């Protein structure tokens, strides 16, 4: 008989403690959980705010509003480092990319060299990607009770790195330790990059700042290539 799926398990899955895909499935199975039951609970939680998928219609918006969203400081910070390109290209890691650093596919079609999208589609993909990383960071909010700027700084970090799992040591580090640890994620392929140093510094400053609007100037494309998205390998 499979172990009971709990809200803490669901939040741990969302936070990335169990990895993704086959890794997630294997880890859950090894711990005695039914993968399909867990995944269903995760999907319901992300959509309805609870595990069983039954939320009163008049409370749906209320539940969604309880989940933190990236503020303007966070969005401006991300866009100051991510260049919007409407034609597909390979980033510094060789990953096919389009729009505001979007990877994977567009409307079900894998990104390919020669693909073009509109600005509206680029912004739509950005919002979808942002929501995905917001869900990830929200998985840690019960433990940390983030301020708006703390949350938004971590979303920016995750947007670039892919996750905050290692940064937070799976939720075991303090906020001060997290802020200081940010500054270590400045290497790509073994090289320390100035662009990443700048990004981590601004993310740390946002994390430590009061919740007021900050102006982030946009970087030029010729510098963007040095600190575009790379993945959590540290």
Q: What are phi and psi of 115, to 5 degrees?
A: -70, 140
User: Using 50, 70 and 90 to split pLDDT, how confident is the model at 56?
Assistant: very low
What DSSP letter does each residue of 12-79 carry, written as one string?
HHHHTTT-SHHHHHHHHHHTT--HHHHHHHHHHHHHHSSSSS---GGGHHHHHHTS----HHHHHHHH
Is residue 176 a contact partner of residue 193, using CB atoms and an 8 Å limit?
A: no
**pLDDT digits 0-9 by tens, 64-101:** 446 899 999 999 999 999 889 999 999 877 889 999 99
Among positive and negative, which fits the CA dihedral 5, 155, 191, 92?
positive
Measured between its terminal Cα atoms, the distance across the chain in Å is: 38
pTM, rounded to two decimals = 0.64
Catalytic residue among 82, 134, 150, 203: 82
Residue 208, exposed/middle/buried by CB under 10 A (0-12, 13-18, 19+)?
Answer: middle
**pLDDT digits 0-9 by tens, 11-37:** 778 877 777 778 888 888 888 889 998
**pLDDT digits 0-9 by tens, 114-133:** 999 999 999 999 999 999 99
Question: What is the Cα–Cα distance from 57 to 60, expressed in whole angstroms?
Answer: 5
User: In the numeric block, which tokens belong to residue 163?
Assistant: 């996750």
Q: Write down the architecture of domain 72-224 according to CATH.
A: Orthogonal Bundle (1.10)
Mean pLDDT over residues 142-155, rounded?
Answer: 94
- Catalytic site includes residue 82: yes
Mean pLDDT over residues 55-61, rounded?
Answer: 41
Is residue 87 a contact partner of residue 225, using CB atoms and an 8 Å limit?
A: no
Mean pLDDT over residues 194-211, rounded?
Answer: 91
* Domain-wise residue ranges, the chain: 7-65, 72-224
The contacts of residue 181 (CB under 8 Å, 6+ apart) are 167, 173
Coil, helix or strand for 94?
coil
Question: What is the Cα–Cα distance from 59 to 9, expressed in whole angstroms?
Answer: 24
User: Using 50, 70 and 90 to split pLDDT, how confident is the model at 4?
Assistant: confident
């Amino acid at each position: 008989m499979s172990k009971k799926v709990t809200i803490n398990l669901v939040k741990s899955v969302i936070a990335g403690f169990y990895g993704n895909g086959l890794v997630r499935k294997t880890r859950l199975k090894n711990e005695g959980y039914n993968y399909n039951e867990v995944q269903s609970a995760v999907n319901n939680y992300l959509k309805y705010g609870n595990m069983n998928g039954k939320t009163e219609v008049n409370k749906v918006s209320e539940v969604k509003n309880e989940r933190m969203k990236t503020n303007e400081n966070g969005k401006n910070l991300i866009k100051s480092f991510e260049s919007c390109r409407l034609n597909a290209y390979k980033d510094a890691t060789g990953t096919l990319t389009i729009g505001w650093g979007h990877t994977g596919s567009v409307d079900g079609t894998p990104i390919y060299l020669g693909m073009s999208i509109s600005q509206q589609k680029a912004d739509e993909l950005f919002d979808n990607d942002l929501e995905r990383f917001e869900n990830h960071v929200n998985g840690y909010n019960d433990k940390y009770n983030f301020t708006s700027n703390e949350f938004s700084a971590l979303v920016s970090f995750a947007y670039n790195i892919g996750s905050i799992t290692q940064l937070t040591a799976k939720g075991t580090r303090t906020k001060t330790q997290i802020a200081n640890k940010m500054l270590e994620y400045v290497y790509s392929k073994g090289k320390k990059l100035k662009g990443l140093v700048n990004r981590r510094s601004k993310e740390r400053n946002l994390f430590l700042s009061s919740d007021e609007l900050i102006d982030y100037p946009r970087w030029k494309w010729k510098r963007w290539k040095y600190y575009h998205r790379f993945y959590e390998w540290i």
